[in-house]
Chain A
Amino acid sequence: MSENQVPEEIQESAATEAAKLGIGTDEWVAQHEERIARKKGIKGLPQLINESIPAWARWGVLLLISFAFGAFVDNQYLLRIGVNLGLFVMLSYGLNIVMGYAGLLDLGYVAFYGIGAYGYALMSSEQIGHHWSTWLTVLIIIIGTALLGYIVSLPSRRLFGDYLAIVTLFFGQVFVQLVLASDNITFPWAEDYVDITAGANGIPGIDPFSFFGHKFLNIRDYYWLLLVLVALLTIAISRVNRTRIGRAWRTIREDALAAESMGVMVNRLKTMAFVTGAAIAGLAGAIFAAMQTAVFVSGFDMPLMTMIYAAVILGGSGSLAGAVMGAIVMSVLPEVLRVTNYSEILFLAVLVLTLAAVGKSVKRFTINIVGIALIGFLVKILLGAASIKTTPTKEWVVGPVSRALSHWMYVPLDRVLWGNCAFVILIVLIAYFTTTTPRIKSILLPVIGYLGIFLWEVRLVTDVNTTRQLLIGAMLVVLMITRPQGFLGKARVEVL
């Protein structure tokens, strides 16, 4: 050691040199404050607001609003939206346990909802001829779906990620096919075929819930029931999440092998997550069947599954408040968007938010907005000067927003043709946009923005069903870019 001792003065000067260069400081630690500060921009706003309000206040306000809604709203349509929201929150909660906490990609989850609904339908309608008490039926459904969740978890718990997704996906499809095919079963000992599920025709005439002699004839009854259930579930799940079970679920999601080496019984906990999620979905299904008084198997297929997943991911998987938020967006928004005027406002809001997210600075954002406005006026003036015929304003204006836009937007006579053209050009431009240089990008952005609005006003705004899907899809894309972890999810950090 002593023969290669460095003289002290050289060591010292090397040390100051190193300090200047930042050698010897841990960059990761040095940037700690900065990383926390990063949360403070527009993108971190939802989380910041969420964290600055204490949990009891957040949930209290939500409960108060829900209570007021149930007590004062008389509109049947609105109440039905409320009930749907309640069911959606239950489903999101269940999936949040399976996918958000335990990290199990269960694509057959919605089948448990369907099994709950069909289970209730079979035990409370003329289909088989049973009209059992609500208590008994609901109990059977909860236990039955939990048991089924257990059975599905047995082969599934040895599987990870994609493989689990495939197996559960099959489970979901098996349920659908089984229900479709079970209207015509011939047993070797019976002469005539047996109709169990009525296949694609669905089961009508299901009894409503009836507790203590009180029949749930009003939709409001279901609303109250769901409010109580969701409140209880919120308390229960957030409690469990803070115990060792909840922690263990999350360790499985992060690193199952490390979890096991800490003594976590990975398989047992996976099963527990499956069973809990399945039971919650089953109960929600029973409520749905009783409320709807009819069930159709098409309602428990992939479209609903994607909506539930979108709700959980949108809200931030692993967060209960996020699940509620995602459920609100995914169940209420499609209803709001049925009204063209609202969908128009939302479209413009999404566009502005996208520009804000892409532009990053206020200056860029302003340039983009002004650019779009200028293009609009330019097109209108140029084509107006050429006196090309336009569609009369009253034929396409749907509300105050488009009325305001009508002074700016040029709408050609053949709206279908030009709308389609704009659509094709828009896609080409967006594809080009993603690969080009920043300079061309900044020129392209206002053009894309204008074409987007053009397409919307000319073609899409009157086609409610298409626009609903498009808008929700666009919102998801924008959110995934700006907040990949969802509204209230925690940003992922990797161990280096």
Chain B
Amino acid sequence: MSEKKPLLEISNIDTYYGAIHILQQVNLRVDEGELVCLLGGNACGKSTTLKTVLGMVKPKVGKIMFAGQDVTHQNTPARVKLGMAVVPENRRLFAPMTVLENLKIGAYVRGEAAEEDLERVYDLFPKLKERSSQLAGTLSGGEQQMVAVGRALMSHPRLILMDEPSMGLAPKLVEQSFEMIANLHSQGVSMLIVEQNANMALSVADRGYVLQTGRIVLEGEAKELAGHEELRRAYLGR
């Protein structure tokens, strides 16, 4: 495992919302081609970590390295240009715009969307091709998830950030969603997944971090974490 190169590395991040200290000394790393999941219960700072990585929230202290560059002081569009892409919580599609327009927006930082990029997304999700002229808001939850992932892929990202891909989906669709994630991962896409559904997330991830009230309390290989006694008690039920 010596060829591993860190793609994203955040070190000693402290993030505040006003006076409230959210993230405390968070360290996190995603290597090239790796699928990392960030676990944790409600309000422990999972989404804030993702927003900090993306630059929607600025950390007070700490450093964020992405693709060999210090991006700590760059804004979101600049980071997206460097190769981050996000599948936001609840997908956040642009409802009154068509599926095609939603996908094209994903390629915004690269200029006009290229035909072959669209084809690549359509290959992955053939259903979207049928629905390309339909308004995104009229799709079902599962299809919306496809559009959200397709939209992220349109920018040729080096790292996809996913915020709660299981949220608001029926159990069957959650399974499909994670199959899709595993599939993307097998194609060599690096991903950082924030998830409450620890069971599902650990089943596809390489490594995992566990966040609790703004601190990383556990980290390790996904298999290790899945067998971890405390974690099982806290998140996996039983």
Contacts and interface: CB of A to CB of B under 8 A. Distances in A.
B155 to A, nearest CB: 7
Given A261-B88, A263-B155, A495 B95 contact: yes
B77 A265 contact: yes
A259 to B, nearest CB: 8
25 contacts: A29-B143, A243-B112, A244-B111, A244-B112, A247-B101, A247-B105, A247-B108, A258-B88, A258-B92, A260-B76, A261-B54, A261-B76, A261-B86, A261-B88, A262-B86, A263-B76, A263-B77, A263-B108, A492-B95, A492-B96, A493-B137, A495-B90, A495-B93, A495-B136, A495-B137
Interface string B125-146: 0000000000111111111100
Question: For B56, B80, B105, B141, which residue has the most chain A Cβ atoms within 10 angstroms?
Answer: B105
Interface of A: 26, 28-29, 32, 35, 243-244, 247-248, 250-251, 254-255, 257-265, 490, 492-496
Interface in B84-109: 86, 88, 90-97, 101, 104-109
Question: For A243, A248, A261, which residue has the most chain B Cβ atoms within 10 angstroms?
Answer: A261
Contacts of B91: 495
A170 B131 CA distance: 45
A200 B92 CA distance: 50
Contacts of A262: 80, 86, 105-106, 108-109, 151, 155
Given A243-B112, A247-B105, 20 more contacts: A28-B141, A29-B139, A244-B105, A244-B113, A247-B108, A254-B94, A254-B95, A257-B92, A258-B92, A259-B94, A261-B54, A261-B56, A262-B86, A262-B109, A490-B135, A492-B96, A493-B96, A495-B90, A495-B92, A495-B137
| Interface range for B | 35 or more
Given A262-B80, A490-B135, A28 B108 contact: no
B81 interface: yes
Contacts of B109: 262-263
Nearest to A485: B96
Interface of B: 54, 56, 76-77, 80-81, 86, 88, 90-97, 101, 104-109, 111-113, 135-144, 151, 155, 170
B78 to A, nearest CB: 9
Contacts of B141: 26, 28, 496
A248 B54 contact: no
Contacts of B140: 26, 28-29
A50 B177 CA distance: 39
Contacts of B142: 26
A255 B77 CA distance: 15
B162 to A, nearest CB: 12
A251 B104 CA distance: 11
B76 A251 contact: no
B94 A250 contact: yes
B149 to A, nearest CB: 13
A490 B137 CA distance: 12
Given A247-B101, A254-B97, A264 B108 contact: yes
A258 B87 CA distance: 9
B144 A495 contact: yes
Nearest to B173: A26
Given A26-B141, A29-B140, A494-B95, A260 B56 contact: yes
Nearest to B137: A493
Nearest to A29: B140
Nearest to A265: B77
A371 to B, nearest CB: 40
Given A29-B140, A255-B92, A248 B97 contact: no
B46 to A, nearest CB: 16
Contacts of A251: 94, 97, 105
A149 B112 CA distance: 27
A29 B88 CA distance: 22
A254 B170 CA distance: 26
Nearest to A264: B108
A264 B137 contact: no
Nearest to B143: A29
Nearest to A490: B96
Contact of A248 (B105, B135, B151): B105
Given A262-B105, A264-B105, A493 B95 contact: yes
A257 B77 CA distance: 11
Contacts of B104: 244, 247
A255 B112 contact: no
A26 B173 CA distance: 11
Contacts of B95: 254, 492-495
A35 B56 CA distance: 36
Contacts of B81: 263
Given A28-B140, A32-B138, A493-B138, A248 B108 contact: yes
Contacts of A247: 97, 101, 104-105, 108
Question: For B88, B138, B151, which residue has the most chain A Cβ atoms within 10 angstroms?
Answer: B138
A268 to B, nearest CB: 9
A263 B54 CA distance: 10
Contacts of B111: 244
A26 B143 CA distance: 11
B52 to A, nearest CB: 13
Contacts of A258: 88, 92, 94
A261 B97 contact: no
A177 B199 CA distance: 65
Nearest to B94: A254
A23 to B, nearest CB: 11
Nearest to B56: A261
A494 B137 contact: yes
Closest 4 CB pairs of A and B: A263-B80, A493-B137, A263-B109, A258-B92
A250 B97 CA distance: 8
